[in-house]
Structure 1
Amino acid sequence: MSAVHPAGRTQRRSPATPVRIAARALLGALAILSLLSGIAGGLWRAGIALPDGRAFPWAGQWLLAHAALMICGFFGTVIGIERAVALRHRAAFLAPLASGAGALCLALGQQALGAWLCVVAAACFLAVGVVVVRRQAAPHTFLLLVGALAWAVGSLLFAQGRAGHAVLPWWFAFLVLTIAAERLEMTRLMKRRPGAAAALHAVLALLLLGAAWSGAAPRGGGLAYGAALALLAAWLAVFDVARRTVRTHGLARYMAVCLLGGYAWLGVAGVAWAATALGWPARDVALHALGLGFVVGMVMGHAPVVLPAVARVKLAFGNFFYLAPAALHLSLLLRFAAGAFSQPLHAAGAAGNAATLGFFAATLAGAALAWRWRHGTAGAGKTPR
């Protein structure tokens, strides 16, 4: 969501105070810590130990809590901050604060406390979703609320010590439903074919059914979940505005390229998820085509719009923005295609995934500095509208 009031009115921002600056710094630090520890755990999972993970006292926790650190810790905190900024209510910041604190506990080896803080974060986020729906009852706000509920269910199962095949479908449903809601919000004025909305509702219902079913019957639930992901990819490719805006220029085209690439990876994730349920060795493809190819691809596409609205940082857009998505796709292809036949190539692809995240962060920082250089510090201090 952008920095717009849920009722649709653009809000004037209050001036920054030392307390607000400190709060933003704390939340930002918790999100960055979650990301870095999650990446480290993922690299060690891929067999990369540079530096050697055994030299760090909490390395084992980062490895075991990789998914929780990335989904609840990083994405949960970032999405929670975005939603709190849009809602403009101090209590809404309890959700990202709890998720960031939970990730910190997980990174430090406090598994139980960290897991229950994730439950608290999801519950607070769910309450925020209820407020948003009360302010603006619309299909995309209801979908955001359902996504928040999925995060809460997954976190509760995680706190109860349930296995990954029961937890991960709910956590990923949180991210997928949130992204689908964002796309509905941004394209709500588009005219769609009759039956498009009903088809989307059916696909998302199948996604939730697959998540619920996976805990009791991983095979059947996984097949349903994978089918829902693949069908959602097809729906987005057909009905999202990106297939039109990709023929435009500038930022709109960049966003469309990122979105369409993400939809392709979502389709790959759906097929791989179903294949994993059937016993094929496709789990790495299922999880990371979804988490990196789709979710991170969507982040790259929306960041030039969301970051100025949430963080009051203006960016100078240029063709250099295309480099990070291209690196993401190439490193994923190396990881999945060549990596299927060679462990070193698989590890190289995983290292490329991590490097791409750092490269994209550097791209955003460079774009912010470029804007300041072009417009001067006086222009950079103005509040984005």
Structure 2
Amino acid sequence: MSPKSHYLPTRPSRRSGCRIVLLLLGGFALLAGLDGALILLGLPAPVIAARLADVHGPLMVYGFVGTVVVLERAVAIRRNWAFLSPGLLGAGGIALVSPIPLFVGQLALMAGSIVLLAIYRAIWARQPSTSSAVQALGALLGLAATILWWGGVPVPQLIPAMTLFLVLTIAGERLELARISPTVDERAERWLLAVALVLASGGVLALLWPVLGYPVLGFALLGLVSWLVRYDVATRLVRSKGLPRYMAVCLLAGYGWMGVVGLVWILWGPGYVGPAYDAVVHSVFLGFVISMIMAHAPTILPAVLRRPLPYRPLMYGPVVLLHASLVVRVVGGDARGLDVLVQWGGFANIVAVLLFAGVSVVSVFVGAPPKPVRRESSTASPRGRATISLGTRR
């Protein structure tokens, strides 16, 4: 997701086989989480497990997204011990849906989150930066959520902390990329750090004094969206072509859904069940997080697997389906109390995620699409033949 220039590798990375295994653990968590989503929607599901619906949230946040994101971190720092983090998160995802006691999976997620903090400690030791601090703050909140869940706090009350784990991770990465822009200076970095600290404070307040904490979170999220719109390179790359435009479209759409979450928290405050809760959870974890994964997949997978994921215009299909179905689910279903639209929108959400996974896998194995044929015209000259390319520059 982020450039690796500030991670100074000291040891050879593990073989791709190990990385593929870890990716498969994340893929298992994704499929299990989508199965749990079907159960929660009241739709027929391929597998009916005793607690699949109950662990749906942590399974997706830690078992799927956490494993994939942290795997990229482990690859970046080139330390063998760092692969313990995605390994523990992936194994924790399997444990959550297995018949073994729930606390085993909870402890695995907790241990994986602790190793993730050690990864950020190693990154900070090499080169301190605001982006690393913001991401480490998100990891700390993610660890806190696993500890509280293990201690008996219900998952709905932990949604703010789980949200901030992923939101701050992505925000820190976007800062790293935004540094190529001349508009990003010390003031911009201080602004993002201040927003991150307010978000972290709001996450604590949301647990202790929800009536105060949720509006604080909402306003801070809107502040983060403002920062991203102001400084993120996506606002300029959206006018380009090909892969840069595709990534920018995914990013900006995700920022829009994060703004929706901020507005809901400001206007409706704490909510642990019902339409507002559903709107928040799926706006952030589908509209924002999955959109970020769709945007960064062409750069994450090559870094992890050492195989390219070529951009294809076909990738827009799952993106459009994801966001259109989320509008149906949130605006048509949740906002108007129409359960049938929630179901159909939710089902289309699942199809969009699976469709993107399928397109990505096929693209990896098929390889890059053929380049446009270049026609050449030659003219004679006293010294020989001068070739003039009439093809498209890429």
Gaps of 5+ in 2: 372-394
Aligned to 2:161: 170
Query: What is the letter of the counterpart of residue 334 of structure 1?
Result: V
Kindly report which structure 2 residues correspond to 1:291-306, keeping only aligned pairs within 5 A, or say none.
Answer: 291-306=285-300
Query: Which whole-Å CA distance do the structure 1 matches of 2:11 and 2:178 have between them?
Result: 24
Aligned length: 365
Highest CA radius of gyration, 1 or 2?
2
Shift of residue 8, structure 1, vs aligned partner = 5.7
Aligned to 2:277: 283
Query: Which whole-Å CA distance do the structure 2 matches of 1:300 and 1:346 have between them?
Result: 23
Aligned to 2:250: 258
Paired residues of 1:229 and 1:266 also in contact (CA < 8 A): yes
Which of these residues, 95, 104, 107, is aligned with residue 113 of structure 1?
104
Gaps of 5+ in 1: 376-385
Query: What is the letter of the counterpart of residue 316 of structure 2?
Result: Y
Aligned to 1:76: 66
Q: Once the two structures are superposed, what CA deviation does each residue of 1:212-245 show, in whole Å capped at 9, x if it has no partner?
A: 0111112211111122112211221122111111
Query: What is the letter of the counterpart of residue 154 of structure 1?
Result: A
Paired residues of 1:165 and 1:215 also in contact (CA < 8 A): no
Query: Which whole-Å CA distance do the structure 2 matches of 1:235 and 1:24 have between them?
Result: 34
Paired residues of 2:7 and 2:77 also in contact (CA < 8 A): no
Paired residues of 2:178 and 2:184 also in contact (CA < 8 A): no
Query: What is the letter of the counterpart of residue 300 of structure 1?
Result: M
Aligned to 2:386: none
Aligned to 2:29: 34
Shift of residue 299, structure 1, vs aligned partner = 0.8
Give SS of 2:51's match.
Answer: helix
Give SS of 1:101's match.
Answer: helix
Give SS of 1:344's match.
Answer: helix
**1:61 corresponds to 2:51:** yes
Query: Which whole-Å CA distance do the structure 1 matches of 2:315 and 2:309 have between them?
Result: 11
Query: Which whole-Å CA distance do the structure 1 matches of 2:369 and 2:239 have between them?
Result: 30
Two-structure CA RMSD over aligned residues (Å) = 2.3
Shift of residue 138, structure 1, vs aligned partner = 1.3
Kindly report which structure 2 residues correspond to 1:39-58, keeping only aligned pairs within 5 A, or say none.
Answer: 39-51=34-46, 56=48, 58=49
**1:318 corresponds to 2:312:** yes
Query: Which whole-Å CA distance do the structure 2 matches of 1:276 and 1:160 have between them?
Result: 27
- Inter-CA distance 276–113: structure 2 relative to 1 (3 Å threshold): farther
Aligned to 2:88: 98
**1:362 corresponds to 2:358:** yes
Aligned to 2:206: 214
Aligned to 1:380: none
Query: Which whole-Å CA distance do the structure 1 matches of 2:296 and 2:60 have between them?
Result: 18
Paired residues of 2:178 and 2:231 also in contact (CA < 8 A): no
Aligned to 2:230: 238
Shift of residue 373, structure 1, vs aligned partner = 7.5
Aligned to 1:309: 303
Q: Once the two structures are superposed, what CA deviation does each residue of 1:333-365 show, in whole Å capped at 9, x if it has no partner?
A: 111122234212210100111111111011112
Query: Which whole-Å CA distance do the structure 2 matches of 1:356 and 1:34 have between them?
Result: 17
Shift of residue 25, structure 1, vs aligned partner = 3.9
Paired residues of 2:2 and 2:176 also in contact (CA < 8 A): no
Aligned to 2:6: 6
Shift of residue 165, structure 1, vs aligned partner = 4.5
Give SS of 1:337's match.
Answer: helix
Paired residues of 1:147 and 1:177 also in contact (CA < 8 A): yes
Percent identity for Structure 1 against Structure 2 = 35
Paired residues of 2:214 and 2:266 also in contact (CA < 8 A): yes
Moved more, 131-140 or 270-279: 270-279
Query: What is the letter of the counterpart of residue 69 of structure 2?
Result: I
Shift of residue 50, structure 1, vs aligned partner = 3.6
Query: Which whole-Å CA distance do the structure 1 matches of 2:163 and 2:141 have between them?
Result: 8
Aligned to 1:87: 77
Q: Once the two structures are superposed, what CA deviation does each residue of 1:302-339 show, in whole Å capped at 9, x if it has no partner?
A: 11112111111212322112111111111101111222
Aligned to 1:379: none
- Inter-CA distance 234–63: structure 2 relative to 1 (3 Å threshold): same
Paired residues of 1:254 and 1:322 also in contact (CA < 8 A): yes
Query: Which whole-Å CA distance do the structure 1 matches of 2:236 and 2:40 have between them?
Result: 39
Alignment TM-score, normalising by the size of structure 1: 0.88
Query: Which whole-Å CA distance do the structure 2 matches of 1:192 and 1:153 have between them?
Result: 35
**1:332 corresponds to 2:326:** yes
Give SS of 1:303's match.
Answer: helix
Query: Which whole-Å CA distance do the structure 2 matches of 1:146 and 1:133 have between them?
Result: 12
Of Structure 1 and Structure 2, the greater helix share is in 1
